[in-house]
């Protein structure tokens, strides 16, 4: 896969009130379930991810994706997860901050650099000694060893490289 400008985006989502919602591992697992289902239905690529107690960072995209389509996909993800987590835990109320951050990435090198950064997030936050120790990350897929919560679409040349399906964001 060639990653061209506007094909990949770094998305950061914060929990409402910066609550450590994902400190509960069942909620992190539920997030991956929702993300995987939405990915299957909409066909976007998931290049990298990390789920921290109070935020999620994703690198996602698709050929021809624009900022508007990515933001719509993110809104669907936030909405679907909020409904699921509230229904399963009997809670009411907001799950996500209204604001999220979506940055366009330019080329495969930018995707790799941002993935390296997000894989370091658990270490920088004092949650893990090294990136491979953090369960809720795509680091092991990028390093070419170990299982991850959700498969990723790696840029060409990465150790765990698998062919990426043809997909788009709607």
Looking up residue 32, the CATH number of its domain turns out to be 3.30.70.1290
Among candidate residues 9, 76, 67, the one with its CA nearest the CA of residue 40 = 76
Q: What range does the domain containing 70 cover?
A: 8-143
Question: Is residue 164 domain-resident?
Answer: no
Separation in Å, CA 4 to CA 8, 33, 73, 127: 8, 28, 19, 33
Considering the domain boundaries, does residue 155 fall inside one? no
Say which residues have a Cβ less than 8 Å from residue 77's Cβ, sequence separation at least 6: 34, 35, 38
| 110 lies in some domain | yes
pTM for the whole thing?
Answer: 0.87
pLDDT of residue 160: 56
Would 108 be classed as within a structural domain? yes
Best CA proximity match to 101, nearest among 84, 120, 118, 116: 118
- Is residue 25 in some structural domain? yes
Confidence band for 170, pLDDT divided at 50, 70 and 90: very low
- pLDDT-based confidence at 1, cuts 50/70/90? very low
23, part of any domain = yes
How many domains is the chain partitioned into structurally? 1
Q: Is position 170 within any domain?
A: no
**Structural domain includes residue 168:** no
């Amino acid at each position: 896969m060639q990653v061209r400008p506007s094909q990949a985006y770094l998305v950061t989502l914060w929990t409402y009130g910066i609550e450590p919602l994902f400190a509960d591992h069942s909620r992190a697992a539920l997030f991956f379930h929702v993300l995987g289902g939405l990915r299957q239905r909409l066909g976007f690529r998931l290049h990298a991810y990390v789920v921290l107690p109070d935020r999620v960072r994703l690198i996602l995209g698709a050929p021809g994706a624009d900022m508007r389509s990515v933001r719509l996909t993110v809104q669907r993800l936030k909405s679907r997860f909020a409904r699921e987590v509230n229904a399963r835990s009997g809670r009411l109320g907001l799950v996500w901050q209204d604001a999220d951050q979506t940055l366009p990435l330019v080329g495969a090198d930018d995707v790799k650099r941002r993935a390296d950064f997000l894989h370091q997030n658990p270490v920088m936050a004092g949650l893990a000694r090294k990136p491979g120790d953090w369960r809720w990350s795509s680091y092991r897929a990028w390093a070419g060893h170990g299982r991850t919560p959700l498969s990723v679409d790696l840029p060409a040349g990465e150790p765990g490289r698998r062919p990426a399906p043809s997909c788009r964001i709607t």
